[in-house]
Structure formats: C-alpha cells, structure tokens
Amino acid sequence: MYVTKVIFQIGILIGLFYIGSFLKGFLHIPLPGSIIGLLLLLILLFLKIIPVDWIQDGANVLITFLPLLLVPATVSVMNEPSLFSGNGLVLFGIIMISTIVTMVSVGWCSQHLERMAQKRKEKIQCNNSLSQ
C-alpha cells in the first residue's frame, strides 16, 4: 500500500513538472518548466487545493535519492579539467562560501520552523486544557 501511495505522489509531482513544461512552451515563459511546476505546486499548497499529505511521502523518497541523481553531473564536470584550469582557487572559494551560507540558512530556517511548530503545539494544548 505504501509503495502505491508513493508512486501516486511522485506521479503528482511529475504531472506538475509536465504542466510547467507545457506552460513554458505555450506561454513562452522565460523559466524552466520544472521551476514553473514547482511554483504551481507552491500555489496549490498555499491555496490548500493539494494537501501536503498528498505529496509528502513521495517528495521524501525523491529527496532521499537526490544525491544519487546528482552524481552523473558531478562526474561530467570532472571529465572537463579545462573548466578548472586557472580558476581552481576561485571556484574552491565560491564553493566553500556557498556551502557555509547554505548550511547557516538551512539551519536557521529549520530552527525557525521548529519553534513555530512548538508554539502551535503549545497553543493547541492550551486550548484543549481550557475547553475541558
């Protein structure tokens, strides 16, 4: 049952990708179809047309395998040493800075979301205790 649910959820995400690609070609939007699909997903989630439960497990499976999907791109870059000739230190610096910025911002966002969830949980418990 879980596998069927995950396949269905991944199907929803793939469907949004194809809708985004169609809109890109049809409306001549200067964004990749995948980005348009993600924006559609964001809008649908904000408007609560698609509940988070409909895509959560499928998205978690895709995120789990994301590093594996990036390996071919990394290997392709390693096959082109001319890209790094003369710019190695600059690229190393950019990679280090962007990694640090990413780690700090993700850590801050996750802590902020955790605090929000904790406040929401406390508010629900307080309301429940008042109503009893």
Q: Which DSSP letter does residue 47 get?
A: T
Burial (CB count within 10 angstroms: exposed 0-12, middle 13-18, buried 19+), residue 39: middle
- Report the range of poorest mean pLDDT among 43-52, 59-68, 75-84, 92-101: 75-84
**Where in the chain are the domains?**
2-79
Each residue of 24-36: pLDDT tens digit? 999 999 989 999 9
Query: What is the pTM assigned to this prediction?
Result: 0.59
